[in-house]
A = this chain, B = another copy of it.
Amino acid sequence: MKTEPRIYLALVHYPILNNAGDVVTTSVTNLDVHDIARIAKTFECKGFFVVTPVHAQRQMVHRLRKHWDTKGQLLDHPRKAALKLVEPVESLEAAANRVYDQEHAYPTLVATSAKPQRNFVSFHDMKALIRDGGPVMLVFGTGWGLAEGALSMCNLVLEPVKGVKGYNHLPVRAAVAIILDRLHS
């Protein structure tokens, strides 16, 4: 029997770099939550963790999800199925633990980065790893990218999505879409 891919997404809001290279906490945006949830559902990801240490922002994500659980029900809106995937957590470690609870296995944490990293895993090798059947969590940064504290928790770094002529300023939402499409091609 062919194993279904077990891909989880994590969108990290801390620890993140700002444009000056400082480590900061970015704000959760409604837009990222909705867009990435819809993309995750399109590619049948098993979960989408919104990672922030800010309690009030996790509460906001809970409210968003609840809104679509009730209002989406009435409207029979396709957004409901997408928002069901969303789960706010306080840290990347908490996200990994939630995957363990569901899968009885820790996920391989795969950082994504627009910057050239030491060693990276190619899309080709990443597809093979997913086919092997273990859970995988793709970790996306906000702001100006994942800070070392997040990168160092990851097992692998995925090959960057490069612009045709080096332009390197893709929205994270677009990077999620392209990466999941490539992993399913």
Interface residues of A (CB under 8 A from B): 31, 34-35, 38-39, 41-44, 78-79, 81-82, 161, 163-165, 167-171, 173-178, 181-182, 184-185
Residue among A44, A78, A178 with the highest chain B CB neighbour number at 10 A: A178
* Chain B residues, Cβ within 8 Å of A42: 163-164, 167-170, 174
CB distance from A176 to the nearest CB of B (A): 8
Asked if B178 and A82 make an inter-chain contact with CB atoms under 8 angstroms apart, the answer reads no
Q: Which residue of B39, B170, B185 contacts A39 across the interface (Cβ within 8 Å)?
A: B170
CB distance from A149 to the nearest CB of B (A): 25
Integer count of this chain's copies in the complex: 2
With contact pairs A169-B78, A170-B39, A171-B39 given, residues A44 and B164 touching in the complex (Cβ less than 8 Å): yes
Asked if A168 and B39 make an inter-chain contact with CB atoms under 8 angstroms apart, the answer reads no
**Closest B residue, CB atoms, query A161:** B181
Asked if B173 and A41 make an inter-chain contact with CB atoms under 8 angstroms apart, the answer reads no
* Chain B residues, Cβ within 8 Å of A184: 164
Q: Which residue of B39, B41, B171, B185 contacts A38 across the interface (Cβ within 8 Å)?
A: B171
CB distance from A57 to the nearest CB of B (A): 19
Asked if A78 and B181 make an inter-chain contact with CB atoms under 8 angstroms apart, the answer reads no
* Chain B residues, Cβ within 8 Å of A165: 44
Q: Which residue of B34, B39, B43, B171 contacts A35 across the interface (Cβ within 8 Å)?
A: B171
